[in-house]
Structure formats: C-alpha cells, structure tokens
Structure 1
C-alpha cells in the first residue's frame, strides 16, 4: 500500500507542475483490400501488408507526401517492406528536434484484410502523424498518411479520426502487376494515387482509426524531448530521447504502484527498447530519471 500511495503522489506532483500536455492514443489500420473489393485476374494469393511504420513529428519535417518524390526510406518501405531506412530518417528528425516517436507495428495476420494496432503517447509539440505500409507483393505500392494533426484548430486533442485509405505508387519502380523486382523508374516520379487504376478499383484498401484513450500531463523539461511508444504485439516499450540526455535510471510500475522493472545502466541512446513478454494488457507508468529531472509517462500495453 505504501508503494501505491507514493506512486499516486508522484503522479499528482508532476501533474501540478506539468509543462507539456500529452494524450494516449490507439492507432489501428484494418485492411479491406481483397479479390472482391479489388477484383483482378492476377490478384495475388500472397497478398499482405508490411509492418505499419509511422512517426509523430512537427511541421518542420515531412516523411511522405503525394505529389513529391519518395525519400529513400519510403522507397524501401514501398518496394521491399523494409523499415530500417525510414527509421533512420525519423531518428535524424528526432536528433534535429523535429520528431519524437517512431513505431513499427506488425499486422496480426499474413493477409490483405489483417489489422495492425499500436498505442502511442502523443506530445503537443509533435502533433502530426505520418505512416506507411507496403501493399505486397508489388513494384512500389503502399498506403500512406501525411502529417495529419491530432490537435484541432483550438489546440485540443481530437477524440477520434477515421480515414479511408487508398493505394499509392511510390514512383520508384516500374510495373503494374502484383510482382516485385522490376526495373527502377527512371527518372523517379512523384508519389501518385492508384485509386481506380488497375489492378485497383475505386474502393478503399483499408480504414485507419485513431482514438483518444486518455489525457495525461507529465513533468517535462522543455529542453528534454522524451517520449514513449508501445508495441502490443511483443509487449515492448520504446523510449525516444531526441536530445540524447543521459537517462540514469528507468523504472516501470503497474497501475497499482508495483515496481515491475528497474534499469540502472546510464544511457543516452536516441531510442531504447524494453520488452515485458509476460505483462498483461493495461495502463503502466514509466519513470525516467536524468541528472536534472524526473519524467513520468503513462503508457498502454
């Protein structure tokens, strides 16, 4: 009971002195792409999605933009379903103070109608969401979302956003069938819509749902850009440290104030991942201690 009370007091203290408002969101994409919604003689029996990758960022950076040329990271997602290059682009943006979170979420099945869902803690200084996933197999086709704001025009967190997503061509590889390893597109072309262009019909390929779970206010030094995201598939949390501050200690508590894990190895890595394979779904508290401050984050696993 004593530990529980202490944690509650800790949360209250940091709420009172909060400088930055955060919001807990779930992001879910459900595929509706199929042989019935997009009938074509050569619809692939191996149709599936690559991992859903995305970032939270500000308006100083753009990761994917229809009408513009794809970056190397987006090209790798669209052509190969690989995410290392886009993760590096996001980390570079984090180091420049223009992004604070990257997620890489697998789908729940190898199927064009599978779902990928993750939880994030959004920061009002980085309110824009961008994401992408490969339509596979394909030359360079993908879904994409460019810089959608989770804040409304009054600066309030939006309770729910539901978007129909459609197929796009990254403009980097030739081909008009469900096959990869085609010649490069020379010169590279801007990202363009494939809606109602064979082999796609006019129908959507999936639905993106962004839902506000709860609001939280955390102690946050404006010069210290910590953020936390979660991966429900493997029960892991990712801590993003854009300013590369030294984290002296990282602790994770359950909602009842029980200490689950303590990491006391100092680190200033830009991204650090911790896995809790036996953790039940629910609300958890992450406490990050630096040389000069303590940051409390609430996460959903």
Structure 2
C-alpha cells in the first residue's frame, strides 16, 4: 500500500511556524502543543514523526526552494503487537447414524482425513454461498487433501496446516492438538462424507477467542452436511457428472438424504495458553530506533522504497512504499526531515 503526504507551495521562506500537521481533523503548528503520538519538525533539519498516511503540509514554500528540499521518510521503532499463544485439544466425533440419514447408513460410510488451517480473519477458505476452490472440490468429491493443502500453504494469512485422519467409519473419531495465536485465532476444517458426490462437513473460520479477546474453552461445534456445488448426484455414490456450470457451496441439512441431526461434532478444549511477553521499559527519552517508544527492535528497519514527488495545482504529493525489512516489529509510523 502506498502512503502519501502533501506539501503545498506558495511564496516566501519556510519557517518552523509554517510547518503543520493534520491529525484527527485539526492542524497543529510546530509552535503549539502537538497531539499525543506526534512530533513536529522544522525547516532547519530537525526530525519529526509522522503516523502515515497523515498529510504533511508545508506552506509558503517557494518553488525554487522546493528543488533543494529533501524529505526523508524513515521507518521508526513503533510498537510491535505481540501475540499470545494457545494450544487446544481438538476432538472430531462422527455421528453418521440412521438418526442423521433416516434412509439408512450406506455400506462403507466414513469421513475422510480432516484438512484445514489456522489463520486470521483476512482469508476465507470456504463458506456457504461461495464457490468451492479446486482444493475444496477435491476434498468434497474424493477426500484428496493435496490441492487444498497447497492452497493453504500459498496463503500468507494461514500459519499452519491441520491434517488428521479419522478412523472408525461413520461414527469414527480423531483427537489432535492445534496451536493458535491471538493474531491467528481461527480454524478451518473439512472432511468428505464418503461415499458421496461432493458432500462434506466442516467449520469455516471459527475463532477460538471470545469478543473480549480471551481464549474460550470448551467449544463445541455441531457439523452438518454441505454440497460443494461441483458434482451432480443425489445418492451416496462417487460416479457422478460434474455440475455445469459450477454451483455454490450450499447447506443440505434437513434435505434429501439428511435430517436435522448433526453428522459430526468438533470439540475444542484449551490445554495451555502463553500470554504475550512483557516488553522492557523504554530507556529515558523514548525507546527503540527513532525514539518512537514501545518495545525496542532487534535491528533498524530499511528505508521506505520508491519515494516519488508529483507537483501540480500548488501541491506536491509524496508517495512511498513500505520498507522490505521491518526490523523485527510492525511499522506504524515514519520520521521525516526537511533540509534546506
């Protein structure tokens, strides 16, 4: 994402009282107290801190002076959002009985290997009403996990793959551990109802945190059947034509072969939780690189990339891209310096 500051052009020399910042809808001059979290800068080269992408406004800057003016945007040692970690024991319990499929339980009834991910809220691997990916299609039709695993590994919002076999037929079970973090507290899982055209059970993006940000336990999630929308068929069989055009993922609870009784259940039980580490107090005068306060970095971040300036209509718009290296913590603000 590009960040942008704006320098307005006029006449006359730059003075410290002419450098202003806009934050929360107001302008703050260098000569007055700045809002918390801001530091100003003046034309003599003293540095300031800008929470990008807030506008930086330079008034009464002569165009010729602008040519010799350098704006340096340096990533500072902003606070890192540290994450707590929790380990859960997860139990999958199948419930494929005549109560869930009143027409009978087909011979060879089983649930295929559970496959899924630990991730954040920036990705949805499957959802009711959405179109199944190739990976979800192969799980739902064949119980094959490889393609879906590749989709998970290719997504930067997932931190781990979950893969666990289920033994014991339609009432089979599996127990395994899952580690989540407060930054990545969500779990997605699915398993084919086998044999079937493209039917499966699963959970999509279930957060293990409550609304207060605390780990929940125990959590029980009843699983009901879904149709992946990729293969035709109304019987418990594998040989069916593809759905053309492809449909969407749809709940088939209480329709066709299925009653309103759950097909399976997932239970999440908290085993342990590690709170985030307490950062050391900042040294006098601020902490970290750049004096921005918060937890120190292990190294200085690299400079922002591709700094450009575009002039027109009495303004110069500066844009840049975030640094490639953050120095070990999230970058939340930038330092600037104006030299004459």
TM-score (norm 2): 0.56
Residues 22-33 of structure 1: pairs in structure 2 closer than 5 A: 22-33=85-96
SS in 1 for 2:154: helix
Q: Which residue of 1 aligns with 2:102?
A: 39
Q: Tell me: higher relative CO, structure 1 or 2? Use CA pairs within 8 A at least 6 residues apart.
A: 2
Which residue number corresponds to residue 184 of structure 2?
Answer: 126
1:58-100 C-alpha deviation (Å, 9 max, x unpaired): 111111100111111110100000000110011001xx2x110
Give ranges in structure 2 of 5+ residues lacking alignment: 1-80, 278-326, 329-340
Q: Using the alignment, how far apart are the partners of 1:117 and 1:70 within structure 2?
A: 27
Take 1:184 and 1:108, find their aligned partners in 2: how far apart are those partners?
A: 29
Unaligned segments of structure 1, at least 5 residues: 1-17, 220-291, 294-301
Paired residue secondary structure (2:122) = coil
Q: Secondary structure at the match of 2:84?
A: strand
State the 1:197 CA deviation: 1.2
**Residues of 2 paired with 1:169 and 1:108: CA distance?**
23
Q: 1:81 aligns with which of 140, 143, 146?
A: 143
The alignment covers a number of residue pairs equal to: 200
Per the alignment, residue 91 of structure 1 pairs with: 153
Q: Distance in 2 between matches of 1:163 and 1:91?
A: 25
1:59 equivalent in structure 2: 121
Cα offset, 1:181, TM superposition: 2.2
1:108 partnered with 2:156: no
Please list the CA deviations of residues 130-175 of structure 1 after superposition, one character each: whole Å capped at 9, or x if unmatched.
Answer: 1100000000000021111111111111122111110010000000
Deviations 1:216-260 (A, max 9, x none): 2477xxxxxxxxxxxxxxxxxxxxxxxxxxxxxxxxxxxxxxxxx
Which one has a bigger Cα radius of gyration? 2
CA distance in 1, matches of 2:101, 2:165: 23
Alignment root-mean-square deviation, CA: 2.0
Which of 2, 21, 36 is the aligned partner of 2:84? 21
Distance 1:199 1:36 in 2: 11
- Contact kept in structure 2, 1:57 and 1:126, CA below 8 Å: yes
Higher strand share: 1
- Who is 2:4 aligned against? none
